[in-house]
Amino acid sequence: MPDQTADQAGLDDLRGDCAQCFGLCCVALPFAASADFAIDKDAGKPCPNLQGDHRCGIHARLRQKGFNGCTVYDCFGAGQKVSQITFSGQDWRDGSPEHARRMLDVFPVVRQLHELLWYLTEALTLPAARPLHADLRRILAETEQLTRQTPGELAALDVGAHRQEVNVLLLKTSELVRAGTRGRKKDRRGADLMGARLKGADLRGANLRGAYLIAADLTGADLRGADLIGADLRDADLSDADLTGAFFLTQPQLNAARGSAGTRLPESVARPVHWTARL
């Protein structure tokens, strides 16, 4: 089980708080008419459902209105960081067009950094990763410092290079954690498992980093201790699956999947409302 430390509590700071954000994801990000979105929208253009108070006018009916993609998105707290800290609470609507452009350009950068903060913070809750905790804390502090740079510095940041540095430690973390799982541990890193029939599969301690599990049948599967970083779980069926101790699983991944009241989850994520709600 993860350590119940300040690091675990730190994950709460890496969840989107729309009340402290200026609706940045509803403006900065583009989307195309598809199964996930009912309309086309260009980057930098406000969604027509965005209200003057930065709230979504159809938030309670997003799925019914064809905006499933919005329900699976999470900024990892980047929205409130950019709104309240990077730009000191100045709304993108209140300044010049250049001010709005800078804010919307910076948001995706900080969002990537905050996702890395999520993984690093979670890694520090994993007892098996104790030999790496000093290095994890160092790069966690470096990443947090990057998020607090000026808009100009953030716009020029090479996020990819920093991500590679972080990933070296996350890979080592994964190896240490999965080594504690008994039995043969499957390596399915980057595997194409779209629509795979994995009902009841033994995937304990599996490496599923970046695996394509779109619409896979994982009902009743044992995913305890599996590394799920970057795994594509869109429409995957996790009904009655056991993800206890699975790590590097994010809320957006889980929101994109299907599940049931019997699905067992890590403490770091919440059971999606739509798993049990009647639409």
pLDDT digits (tens, 9 = 90+) for 191-211: 999 999 999 999 999 999 999
> Which 3-state string (H, E, C) describes the chain?
CCCCCHHHHHHHHHCCCHHHCCCCHHHHCCECCCCCCCCCECCCCCCCCECCCCCECCHHHCCCCCCHHHHCCCCCCHHHHHHHHHCCCCCCCCCCHHHHHHHHHHHHHHHHHHHHHHHHHHHCCCHHHHHHHHHHHHHHHHHHHHHCCCHHHHHHCCHHHHHHHHHHHHHHHHHHHHCCCCCCCCECCCCECCCCECCCCECCCCECCCCECCCCECCCCECCCCECCCCECCCCECCCCECCCCECCCHHHHHHCECCCCCECCCCCCCCHHHCCCC
Check residue 5 and give its pLDDT.
43
Rounded distance, CA 264 to CA 85, Å? 36
SS3 label, residue 11: helix
Region 239-254: what's the mean pLDDT? 96
30-39, 131-140, 230-239: which range is least confident on average? 30-39
Reported as a pLDDT band with limits 50, 70 and 90, residue 217 is very high
* Side chain identity, residue 105: D
Contacts of 118 (CB under 8 A, 6+ apart): 11, 14, 76, 250
Check residue 4 and give its pLDDT.
42
Is the confidence at residue 6, as pLDDT, over 80?
Answer: no
The closest alpha carbon to 274, from 70, 78, 104, 49, belongs to: 70
Check residue 181 and give its pLDDT.
87
Check residue 95 and give its pLDDT.
81
What confidence tens digit (pLDDT) does each residue in 47-74 have? 999 999 999 999 989 989 999 899 889 9
Region 31-50: what's the mean pLDDT? 93
Is the confidence at residue 279, as pLDDT, over 70?
Answer: no
Give the other-Cβ count within 10 Å of 7's Cβ: 20
The C-alpha angle with vertex 167 and arms to 72 and 238, in degrees rounded to 5, equals 35
Is the confidence at residue 177, as pLDDT, over 60?
Answer: yes
At how many degrees (to 10) do helices 133-147 and 159-178 cross? 150
Reported as a pLDDT band with limits 50, 70 and 90, residue 173 is very high
Check residue 277 and give its pLDDT.
57
Check residue 71 and give its pLDDT.
87
Look up tokens 């809750």; give the residue. Answer: 125
Arithmetic mean of pLDDT over the chain: 92
- For 260-275, b/e burial (b = at least 16 CB within 10 A) is eeebbbbebbeebebb
